[in-house]
Amino acid sequence: MTRIRRLGTAVALAVTVAWAGSGCTVIPVSGPYTVNDQGAGDPLSKPFHRMIAIKPQPNWGIDETMRGLQAAMAAYADDPSILLSYLTPEARAKWSAGGPVTVVEDAIDVVPPPPREATDPVLKVVLKGKYAARIDEDDTYTPTGGSWEQPFDLVKAPQGGYLVKSLPQGLVLTRADVRRAYRPTTLYYLNRSLQDRLVVDRVRLRLKTTESFAQTVLERLLKPPTATLKDAVTTSLPEGTRIESIRSGEGGERVVVNLSGPLDLSSRDALRAQIKYSLNANDVAKGRTIEIQANGEPYTTALPNTDESWLDDSGKTAYYVTKGAIHYLSKDGPGGVVAGAAGEQRDGYSDFAVSKEENGNSLVAARTSTGISVAAMVPQGRWQEVIHGKGDDFTAPTWHRDGSLWTYDRKDSVLLRYDPSSGRGAEPVEAPNLAGLDVTRLRIARDGVRVMVMTGRNTVQISALTGEGPQMKLGNLRALTATNEADKIIDVAWGDEEHLLVLVQSQAGHILTEINVGDGESTGVPLTERLRSVAALGDRVLAETDKGAKLLELGQDRQTWTAKIDSDAGAPLFPLG
């Protein structure tokens, strides 16, 4: 068995450092190269390594052929002809690059062919490695794991060397290939039900030498969202819209985007926001004025540091609970109790949730032994039970940005929605994906679209609220993360529109992980004490310690914790999330 370490071998490839949308400079290969994405050049583009593969050579053995084939896979998008030159006519007629891209770890082992009859012209070769991820046709990137194995049939080529007689469908890339030629990309669509907030969609896009990265981003924005947001978001860019050009103007201080197609004047604000935030999030127009044209004529202009309401998190106040009473947190520590009954101490109330702040006022919900109750945080506010039943049968309440309250009735296996403005009681919401699942937690994100669904004690899934009005339902369920069977998830909290914080009790201790819900990439957060609960809003993270009821805040360095309250501080919470 031999191991492919492709970038250290010059026989099968060359590597080019390229700017998307510019010319290329060839670098002789003597080992791996890295480049800084923030290098000099067109600010609308990003530098990257382009793979240059070569055709199979008559003097190559099996190992060289497999190295060359893998390099040709990485270079396929730029030059499909090289990969096809590795295939026999029969294999060429059957093979297609379509379908998901399989991403494997960089180290790949070549298992040599077993002994065969002298009359058998086919050599059975197997590549072995480990799965790293999958890139679907809608550009969704999903981390995976486990052993990867792929067989190949090789035959002697008439001119010498080997050709591949059978090649499984689709491309196989190494993690290094993806790091080199793809970029994590953030796109923004509109919340379908309210259309008052942008919703993040996370994809992996391949950089191209034929266009700037800014154009690659906007061309993808013209397409439907990924499957996780299907029917949950909409767009202000109507079908038929085209990107005619994107260029820098006025010494690089301005970006000019020229569109054509059936643009709607009534959606001008939303279109400006979608384009601005999609470009800014990917560092190709940040801090610059974006001029949007329609057929070369001025259409709208996005100025830096404007339109912030499109990413509104619905309130910045931090709260915590002490003996059943809701307190607000000041900049330096305790700030006092909230107004009304919600600020009074009482037993039997738990799992508090705060609604979107409206004119400085909010509603708070809590689970009790007899159901779920709601109170306004105003002087005359009183607790009112709005969902009746045994409290343990319901998941902790969660608020939607439209003002409705949600919970899952575990006893009757039904998702419930209560609208305080309707005058009616809680009503069922269609949620076919949850049938037969042991739903233990449910939290709606501040974008009003994504929903965290925890099943059992150690699995987190992501869903989305699709449709509008009476037709709204919970759909598009997909797995996000699962812990070891012996572990237990203690708490889950939305941070910003892209990230979940997951607190786990493992055999090794407590673990806090921040997970990007778009691509599953995770980052560990160091802990200095065992935690009981967490709450987050953007970059701000609060946590209650497991002992001593101390309230901590995570520093901006994401490494250190500072005590905000030393004792008698219960579960922290922010509006929504």
Query: Is 469 buried (19+), middle (13-18) or exposed (0-12) by CB count in 10 A?
Result: exposed
Task: List pLDDT tens digits, range 364-392.
Answer: 999 999 999 999 999 999 999 999 999 99
pLDDT of the residue at 355: 95
pLDDT of the residue at 358: 81
Is the per-residue pLDDT at 84 higher than 80? yes
The angle formed by the CA atoms of residues 553, 554 and 556, to the nearest 5 degrees, is 125
Distance CA 471, CA 289 (A): 39
Please indicate, yes or no, whether residues 124 and 208 belong to a single structural domain of this protein.
no
Average pLDDT over residues 54-60: 93
pLDDT of the residue at 38: 38
* Lowest model confidence (mean pLDDT) among 380-394, 466-480, 520-534: 466-480
Is the per-residue pLDDT at 41 higher than 90? no
Higher pLDDT, 359 or 428: 428
pLDDT of the residue at 106: 92
Under a CB-based contact definition with an 8 Å cutoff, are residues 94 and 31 in contact?
no
Structure tokens of 208?
A: 């191209």
Structure tokens of 201?
A: 């969609």
Please indicate, yes or no, whether residues 234 and 222 belong to a single structural domain of this protein.
yes
Structure tokens of 190?
A: 């509109």
Question: Packing angle between helix 268-281 and helix 213-221, nearest 10 degrees?
Answer: 140
Residues linked to residue 189 through DSSP beta bridges, in sequence order: 199
pLDDT of the residue at 117: 61
Count of domains observed in the chain = 3
Please indicate, yes or no, whether residues 267 and 324 belong to a single structural domain of this protein.
no
pLDDT of the residue at 100: 96
The single-letter code of the amino acid at 398 is T
Q: What percent of the chain has pLDDT over 70?
A: 92
Q: Is the dihedral of CA 560, 566, 568, 574 positive or negative?
A: negative
Please indicate, yes or no, whether residues 105 and 29 belong to a single structural domain of this protein.
yes
pLDDT of the residue at 432: 95
pLDDT of the residue at 194: 86
Please indicate, yes or no, whether residues 373 and 475 belong to a single structural domain of this protein.
yes
CB atoms under 10 Å from CB of 295, counted, come to 11
Please indicate, yes or no, whether residues 324 and 231 belong to a single structural domain of this protein.
no
Domain that holds residue 453: 312-573
Per-chain mean pLDDT for the chain: 88
pLDDT of the residue at 15: 43
Average pLDDT over residues 427-441: 96
Distance CA 104, CA 130 (A): 6
Q: What percent of the chain has pLDDT over 90?
A: 71
Distance CA 236, CA 190 (A): 8
For 342-381, the three-class secondary structure string (H helix, E strand, C coil) is HHCCCCCCEEEEECCCECCECEEEEEECCEEEEEECCCCC
pLDDT of the residue at 170: 95
pLDDT of the residue at 207: 92
Distance CA 349, CA 125 (A): 64
Is the per-residue pLDDT at 497 higher than 90? no
Is the per-residue pLDDT at 496 higher than 80? yes
Under a CB-based contact definition with an 8 Å cutoff, are residues 381 and 366 in contact?
no
pLDDT of the residue at 13: 43
Average pLDDT over residues 144-161: 92
User: Which of 181, 197, 224 is the last residue in one of the domains?
Assistant: 181
Distance CA 352, CA 372 (A): 10
Higher pLDDT, 345 or 48: 345
**Residue 181's closest CA among 173, 193, 189?**
173
pLDDT of the residue at 396: 97
Please indicate, yes or no, whether residues 120 and 252 belong to a single structural domain of this protein.
no
Average pLDDT over residues 190-207: 93
Task: List pLDDT tens digits, range 289-331.
Answer: 999 999 999 999 999 877 778 888 788 899 999 999 999 998 8
Distance CA 510, CA 529 (A): 8
Residue 501: pLDDT band (50, 70, 90) is: very high
pLDDT of the residue at 11: 37
Is the per-residue pLDDT at 74 higher than 70? yes
CATH (domain of 423)? 2.120.10.30
User: Which of 285, 307, 329 is the last residue in one of the domains?
Assistant: 307
Structure tokens of 262?
A: 């059936």
Please indicate, yes or no, whether residues 349 and 247 belong to a single structural domain of this protein.
no
8-state DSSP, 251: G
User: Which of 120, 147, 181 is the last residue in one of the domains?
Assistant: 181
Is the per-residue pLDDT at 132 higher than 90? yes
Residues linked to residue 394 through DSSP beta bridges, in sequence order: 409
Please indicate, yes or no, whether residues 275 and 378 belong to a single structural domain of this protein.
no
Average pLDDT over residues 16-38: 33
Is the per-residue pLDDT at 5 higher than 90? no
Is the per-residue pLDDT at 177 higher than 70? yes
Distance CA 299, CA 257 (A): 10
> What is this structure's pTM?
0.89
pLDDT of the residue at 10: 36
* Lowest model confidence (mean pLDDT) among 194-208, 223-237, 242-256, 434-448: 242-256
Please indicate, yes or no, whether residues 445 and 544 belong to a single structural domain of this protein.
yes
Please indicate, yes or no, whether residues 173 and 192 belong to a single structural domain of this protein.
no
Please indicate, yes or no, whether residues 25 and 90 belong to a single structural domain of this protein.
yes
Average pLDDT over residues 189-212: 92
